[in-house]
Amino acid sequence: MDTTQLLKGVLDAAVLAVVNHEDGYGYDVVRRLRQAGLENVADASVYGTLRRLFAAGALTNYVVPSDEGPHRKYYGITDHGKEILATQREEWHQFAATLTHVLTHEGASS
């Protein structure tokens, strides 16, 4: 199954969850998603998603100066983002349960 396509629909929730756990900069979010098992996630998808969630008011951002190199733009979650995350989390659980049921049922009958 093409997990890249599957991921597109739920990337918002995944990114929100990661940032909700701890603020992070662009690649940091990508890295944490990969470490969590989403190895196929595309860098550009995550950066685009961060930008869109920011524009939608779900994320805030701030610049952290760095001694070693360029400044980093960190993203943090807003209250609105938390609400979205809660909704999407619930929707995902319902969807996953439904699909699991469908797949199990189909598997048993065929």
Partner 1 sequence: MTTTTRSPSAAVRSYTESVRAHLSDLPPEVIDELAGGLEVDLEDALADRNRTADTPLEAFGSPVAYAAELRDAAGLPPAPSATAGSQPAGSHPANSPGIAQQRASFLAGIRSTATALADGFRQLLGSLRTSRFVARVSPLVGDLCPVWWVARGWFLGALIASWLGGSPGTSLIPWRPGDLTVMLVTIVISVQWGRGRWKPWRWITGVIVVASVIALVAAPTVINGTTWANAWGMRTAHEPVETVPRDGLFVDGTQVSNLFVYDGEGQPVPNAQIFDARGVPVTLSVEGSEASGTWGDNPMVGGQGDDGNVLQPSVSVEGTAAWNVFPLPTFRFDVLKESPDGELVPTTGALPLPTAWPFPNVPRFESR
User: Looking only at residues 14 through 53 of this chain, which bind partner 1 when binding is defined by CB under 8 A?
Assistant: 25-27, 30-31, 42-49, 51-52
Nearest approach in angstroms of CB 45 to partner 1 is 4
Q: Which helix (H) or strand (E) holds 110?
A: none
Contact 56, 44 (CB under 8 A): no
For position 73 contacting partner 1 by CB under 8 A, the verdict is yes
For position 78 contacting partner 1 by CB under 8 A, the verdict is yes
The residue (of 83 and 93) whose beta carbon lies closer to partner 1 is 83
Q: Which helix (H) or strand (E) holds 68?
A: none
For position 55 contacting partner 1 by CB under 8 A, the verdict is yes
Residue with token string 């524009």 = 55
For position 69 contacting partner 1 by CB under 8 A, the verdict is yes
For position 89 contacting partner 1 by CB under 8 A, the verdict is no
Identify the three-state secondary structure at position 95: helix
The residue (of 66 and 104) whose beta carbon lies closer to partner 1 is 66
Distance, in Å, from the CA atom of 69 to the CA atom of 57, rounded to the nearest integer, reads 29
Strands laid side by side in the 24-25 sheet: 24-25, 72-77, 59-64
Point out which residues bind partner 1 (CB under 8 A). 11, 25-27, 30-31, 42-49, 51-52, 54-58, 66, 68-73, 78-80
